[in-house]
Amino acid sequence: MAQAKSAGALVDPAFESSVVAKLRSVLGDSSAMTPLHAPEFSGNEWELVKDCLDSGWVSSVGTYVDRFEREIAALSGAEFGIAVVNGTAALHVALIVAGVQPDDEVIVPTLTFVATANAVRHAGAVPHFVDSSPETLGMDPAALAQHLSTIAERKDGRVINRDTGRPIAAVVPMHTFGHPVDMDPLLALADEWRLPVVEDATESLGSHYKGRPCGGLGAVGTLSFNGNKILTTGGGGAIVTNDPEIARRAKHLTTTAKTPHRWAFLHDEVAYNYRMPNINAALGCAQLSQLGERIARKRHLARQYIEAFDGIDGISAFREPSYARSNYWLNTLLLDTIMIDHRDPLLAALNDANLMCRPVWTLMHRLEMFADCPRAPLKVAENLESRIINVPSSAALGTSGEGVTA
C-alpha cells in the first residue's frame, strides 16, 4: 500500500479518504465547490437598499445607521453601538478609547486573525502575544495570570512589563470561531491588574457566555460584518460599550471629531472617517432579522459534524465550552496531536474533493512584522496551529433541527 512519509511518521491515505467520506455524509454529494462560509441574503435586503437609493441617503448619515447601531448594541448586551467601516477600524478606535497610547503594549492572543494585531500597531502600540486554551481556542486566563505575575509589576498607577520597560495598557481576548473565551476569570484578572478588556467579538455575534452575549462583556467590544462573517453589510464593523463616555469618544473619533454647529466645519482633534455608510447599514438591518434562525441552522450543522466524528480515531469536531452557547461561525476539526503529520495531506484531500477547508491563521508571532514582539510561552497555540482544520460552515448547509446539546 502506498504510504507518504513525512516528519518521520507514517501517513496512511486511508485516513484522508475516511475524513472526506465523513464530511460528505454531513454535506451530501455535490460536484460544485462547497465554500468555507458563504454570505446569505434571504431577508428584505433589496427593499432596504433600494430605499437608500430612492431617498438619496446612501452615505454616512441616515436612519439605517441609527437603527443598526441600536439593534447591534442590544444584541451585544451593550447600551451603545457605533457602526464603522470594518472590524479592524472598530478595533483601532476601541483600543484608543480604552486608553491605549503609542508605545504601550497590548495583550493579544497569538492565535487570531491578523486584524487584531494590526489594529494594535495602527494605534501605535505593540502587541504582546499570549497563549490559548485547548478548551476554548481563545486566550487562557490561567496562563495569562502566570505570565503577568512573572513579567509585570504595578508602578505609578500603570502596569509595566519589566522586560521591555513599556506599559501594558489593555487585554484583547478574541472569541475564536464564535466560541467564547472563559471571561469571568479573565475579567477578574484584568480587574486585579486594572487593565481594560477590549473584546474582539468580530467572530462571535450572537454567541453567549454563561447567558451573557459576547461583545458587551468588557470595557468595549468590537464586531465585524465582513462578507465572511455570520452577518454581513458588505464590509462593516461596530464598537459596542456600556460606558457613555467611551461611546461618546468612539463616535467622535470615527466621525472626524466634528463638533456640532449649524454650518461651521469645526473639528477638535485629528480623527478618522470610519463611519459606516447608510447603504451598508440598510443591508445590516435586513441581515439582523435573520440572525436567530441562522444561528439555529449553524448549531444544527455543528451537531451533525460532532456526531459524524464521534468515535473516529485521530480526529474530532470541536465542541463549544460547557458554559457557552456559541454561534458556531466556523466549524473546526481537531486532529489528535499524534496525527499532525496528516494536516497538510488532509487539507489537500479535502480541497481536491471540492470541500473548501482551511488551516487556522499562521500564528501572529511567526509573521515577519510581529516576530520581534514580546510574548509569553505559546505551547498550546503552537500545538493547536498544527491540528486545526476549518470545514464548510455556511448556515445554508444546516437546517433548523436540533442543535448542539451539552
Ligand X SMILES: *Cc1c(COP(=O)(O)O)cnc(C)c1O
Count the residues of the shown chain that bind ligand X, applying the rule CB under 6 A: 14
356 CB-near residues (< 8 Å, 6+ apart): 33, 34, 35, 36, 392
C-alpha 238/C-alpha 40 separation (Å) is 20
In whole angstroms, give the CA distance from residue 89 to residue 218: 18
116 touching ligand X, by CB under 6 A: yes
226 binds ligand X (CB under 6 A): yes
C-beta of 88 vs 304, nearer to ligand X: 88
- For ligand X, the binding residues in 138-177 under the rule CB under 6 A are 174
Instruction: Assess 88 for contact with ligand X (CB under 6 A).
Output: yes
Among candidate residues 114, 111, 162, the one with its CA nearest the CA of residue 138: 111
Please, what is the minimum distance in Å from the beta carbon of residue 116 to ligand X?
Answer: 5
Pick the binder of ligand X from 138, 237, 284, 392 (CB under 6 A): 237
CB-CB contact of 393 with 303 (8 Å): no
Output the smallest distance, CB 91 to ligand X, in A.
6
C-alpha triplet 86, 90, 93: angle, nearest 5°: 140
Of 169, 283, 186, the closest CA to residue 226 belongs to 283
Q: How many residues does the chain have?
A: 406
112 belongs to the binding site for ligand X (CB under 6 A): yes
Can residue 200 be called a binding residue for ligand X (CB under 6 A)? yes
| Residue 86 beta carbon to ligand X: minimum distance, rounded to whole angstroms | 4
Nearer to ligand X, 22 or 229 (CB): 229
202 binds ligand X (CB under 6 A): yes
Burial of 387 (0-12, 13-18, 19+ CB in 10 A): buried
- Judged by CB under 6 A, the stretch of 74-82, 110-118, 255-263, 346-354 that binds ligand X is 110-118
The CB-of-176 to ligand X minimum distance in angstroms stands at: 8
Pick between residue 16 and residue 203 the one whose CB is nearest to ligand X.
203
C-alpha cell at 10: 507514517
With binding defined as CB under 6 A, does residue 115 bind ligand X?
yes
132 counts as binding ligand X under rule CB under 6 A: no
8 A C-beta contact, residue 330 and residue 359? no
Interface pattern 48-87 for ligand X (x via CB under 6 A): --------------------------------------xx
Close Cβ partners of 206 (under 8 Å, ≥ 6 residues apart): 75, 178, 213, 214, 230, 291, 292, 295, 327
Asked if 224 interacts with ligand X (CB under 6 A), we say yes
Q: Which residue is nearest to ligand X (CB)?
A: 87
Which positions touch ligand X (CB under 6 A)?
86-88, 112-113, 115-116, 174, 200, 202-203, 224, 226, 237
